[in-house]
A and B are shown apart, each in its own frame.
Chain A
Amino acid sequence: MSTGTGRDRMLASIKAGISRQAERRHGAAGPAKPTPLIPARATAPGVDVVDLFRTMLIAAKATLDEVKSRDDVPAAVQKYLAANNAEARIRLSPDKRVSSIAWDKVPLLEISSGRSHGKDPTSVTPAVAVVAETGTVILQSSDQTPTTLHFLPDQHVVVVSKSQIVGTYEDALARVKRGPDGGLPRTVNFVTGPSRSADIGKILLMGAHGPKKLHVIVVDEEL
């Protein structure tokens, strides 16, 4: 039995199982792949996805701010940091959508950019999209958007334009920037609210390992 490579043995055993299935079906066709179903929550006519996103994001225990223009973002970030007693120090994704914002408008803010090594209290990053159906932020890795910024800081601030609010996961996945070979980037992250755990006495607490707080700033205009 244990001849051949592990791969050969596994495939042989799987194939044997699949012939058993066919026997049990008495020649009937095998089960077909079902068509996926997308819930109507975010797609039904008349649904306001922006409104739904607001509701679901808050339900996921994240926070939300809405501003008119890119130029309003630095002040909004500063206000958020102050309200949360966080250091006036942020680490940006090198991505133009956030790095080209006029951060010097808020002189007291200390700015740096690049991946995180675990010493950054707050990150400010763009996103692929945000999803209304469950208030989920979709992130991806790239040379402009290091993953460490999405997980190591205590506060994660996501800046998106209103046009990035989509209804469903499927809508968001269509916006992921793929590699030259058409493949997914190394990682795609769905983030629904801040990190949490109920492993101690079933008491739900925020900030287990990932960010303790997740804040989304929606900008009316394009980024």
Chain B
Amino acid sequence: MSMVPTSNAFKDNATGALKDAPLQEALGIARAHSIETRRNTVAKLPEFEQLRDIGRDLKNHVIANLDTYLLQFEQSVIDRGGHVHWCPDGDSARAKVLEICRKVNAKTVTKGKTMIGEEIGINDFLFANGIEPVETDLGEYIIQLRGETPSHIIGPALHVTKAQVEETFRKAHSDLDPQRNLDDAATLMAEAREKLRAGFLKADVGITGANFLIADEGATTIVTNEGNGDLTQTLPRIHIVLASIEKVVPSLKDAMTLLRILARSATGQEQSVYTTFSSGPRRPTDLDGPEEFHVVLIDNGRSSYLGTEFEEMLRCIRCGACLDHCPVYHSVGGHAYGWVYSGPIGALLTPAIVGVENAKPLPHASSLCGRCEAVCPMRIPIPKMLRHWRETEFTRAITPPTERTGIRFWAFVARRPKLYRLATRIGARVLKSMAGSRGRLASVPLAGGWTKHRDLPAPQGKTFHELWKEEQGGRS
């Protein structure tokens, strides 16, 4: 039921994305914007780097005690009058959500932005079962109307230009005056606000994600800028929280560490507009709030990465900074990655969740430039783990035979210095003579990947080791 990955077609997806003019326009705007705002805000908090260290250590501690904290969380939620449902995979999570919705005969469900919801394909599933899911995050709403998936963890509609939003709204809001003026982004937003207000007020169930689960308080946390998540969870009778297991933190004090780095990394804000801690249903004398509070705890393969070289990816707080700073993402956007998560963290998570054989190119779709790791608030060594995926592919013989043979042949030579010297001497001369007097080559057999867009500078003629030997001969 969840989305079928097209990650194996990354190369073609990417080439298509590079030719998509509106997408390139949108990516250009986003790039200019995000790097600068993060840099400025981070510069204003001298303790930022220290907070990153503490955040990393905190998550490492949680990951090493995950069972303890989840059990504590469960007990605290029950103490506050809520329910916790343990779902090992997408199937069980979807079934549980449906069961809760059915119990109250839900017709419509409002949704705050949840990546785990995307991961398990909850929208399509509810829709197929006769329940209408209404996305309320503006970006999610836009892509829901367009029938698309998110192209960025925190800006799901990052790939959509303003002109395309107008076109989408005209089509979807066909009850409104077709002559209305929608030139202004503000008018577009006001229209969505109106439309979604009605949705909020009539929904039977509200589904949100969770940025953190607070173990000792039994509270879930969402962080948003729009306030949609709060309306989603305050107005309907039932609030369902979808949360993956690694979101748990010991206490509110620990959550503060992460809250001080999340927004700064994500949007370059000092703080996001709304951070909400929710625990349990409305209290007997409360004037509003949901009557039931359910937390659906989802594993979906994560626990199998504990104690492996991939476990550090479980520190991710989904801030999107790695996407915002990734030159590959800047070039191709999120959809090229072919599944729910994109950019550097997507290249790690996608193989982990859908299987590396279904996401073969993703670990390679990186120059390993390390800019993601440099900005990741949780100091996740993304390049190192991309390399681990490459190693996994190599060991499982997923790497194409030509590449394997090529590497092995080259290594055979490189392990024999005398043979290597001979090979490089021949290579340098051949390339030099092919270049003739031009100093470079416009095409080289078997090197089409290099020469498709660039020339190959020709060697100077002799190798360094050759010349060094000659010179040493001369010196002595």
- Give A residues with C-beta under 8 Å from B: 5-7, 9-11, 13-24, 30-41, 56, 59-60, 94, 114-115, 117-118, 134-136, 141-143, 146-148, 150-152, 169-170, 173, 179, 181, 183-203, 205, 207-211
* Partner of B303 from A10, A32, A209 at Cβ < 8 Å: A10
In the complex, B46 has a CB within 8 A of chain A: yes
Q: Is the CB of A200 within 8 A of B80?
A: no
- Give B residues with C-beta under 8 Å from A: 26, 29-30, 33, 45-47, 50-51, 53-54, 57-58, 60-61, 63-67, 70-71, 76, 79-80, 85-88, 92, 136-139, 142, 155-158, 160-162, 165, 185-186, 188-190, 192-193, 196-197, 200-201, 217-219, 225-228, 230-231, 234-235, 245, 250, 252-254, 256-257, 259-260, 267, 269-283, 285-289, 297, 299, 303-308, 311
Q: Is the CB of A60 within 8 A of B270?
A: yes
Q: Is the CB of A143 within 8 A of B287?
A: yes
Q: Is the CB of B307 within 8 A of A210?
A: no
Q: Is the CB of B230 within 8 A of A39?
A: no
Q: Is the CB of A118 within 8 A of B201?
A: yes
Q: How far is the CB of B22 from the nearest CB of chain A, in Å?
A: 11
Which B residues touch A184, using CB under 8 A? 80, 217-219, 277, 279
Knowing A186-B279, A196-B225, A201-B161, say if A33 contacts B271 (CB, 8 Å): no
What are the 8 tightest A-B residue pairs by CB atom distance, in nearest-first order? A210-B227, A17-B306, A20-B307, A201-B162, A208-B226, A199-B139, A143-B285, A7-B86
Which B residues touch A187, using CB under 8 A? 234, 276-279, 289
* Partner of B271 from A22, A31, A134, A151 at Cβ < 8 Å: A134
Q: Is the CB of B57 within 8 A of A31?
A: yes
* Partner of A32 from B61, B66, B282 at Cβ < 8 Å: B61
Which B residues touch A15, using CB under 8 A? 67
Q: How far is the CB of A98 from the nearest CB of chain B, in Å?
A: 14
Q: Looking across the interface, which residue of chain B has its beta carbon closest to that of A192?
A: B271
* Partner of A202 from B33, B61, B234, B253 at Cβ < 8 Å: B33
Q: Looking across the interface, which residue of chain A has its beta carbon closest to that of B258?
A: A36
Q: Looking across the interface, which residue of chain A has its beta carbon closest to that of B157?
A: A199
Q: Is the CB of A189 within 8 A of B139?
A: no
Kindly state the separation between the CA atoms of A203 and B297 in the bound complex, as whole angstroms.
Answer: 35
Q: How far is the CB of B331 from the nearest CB of chain A, in Å?
A: 18
* Partner of B270 from A17, A34, A59 at Cβ < 8 Å: A59
* Partner of B253 from A36, A60, A188, A209 at Cβ < 8 Å: A36
Q: Looking across the interface, which residue of chain A has its beta carbon closest to that of B272?
A: A192
Kindly state the separation between the CA atoms of A66 and B161 in the bound complex, as whole angstroms.
Answer: 41
Knowing A191-B274, A205-B185, say if A31 contacts B64 (CB, 8 Å): yes
Q: Is the CB of A14 within 8 A of B303?
A: yes
Kindly state the separation between the CA atoms of A199 and B219 in the bound complex, as whole angstroms.
Answer: 28
Q: How far is the CB of B211 from the nearest CB of chain A, in Å?
A: 12
Q: Is the CB of B288 within 8 A of A14?
A: no
Which A residues touch B305, using CB under 8 A? 17
Interface centre among B61, B271, B282, B306 (most CB of A within 10 A): B271
Which A residues touch B160, using CB under 8 A? 201
Interface centre among A9, A19, A190 (most CB of B within 10 A): A190
Q: How far is the CB of A113 from the nearest CB of chain B, in Å?
A: 10
Which A residues touch B58, using CB under 8 A? 33-34
Knowing A14-B306, A118-B201, A210-B231, say if A200 contacts B165 (CB, 8 Å): yes
Q: Is the CB of B185 within 8 A of A201?
A: yes
Q: Is the CB of B79 within 8 A of A181?
A: yes
* Partner of B188 from A6, A16, A200 at Cβ < 8 Å: A200
* Partner of A114 from B142, B158, B287 at Cβ < 8 Å: B287
Q: Looking across the interface, which residue of chain A has its beta carbon closest to that of B234?
A: A147
Q: Is the CB of B225 within 8 A of A195?
A: yes
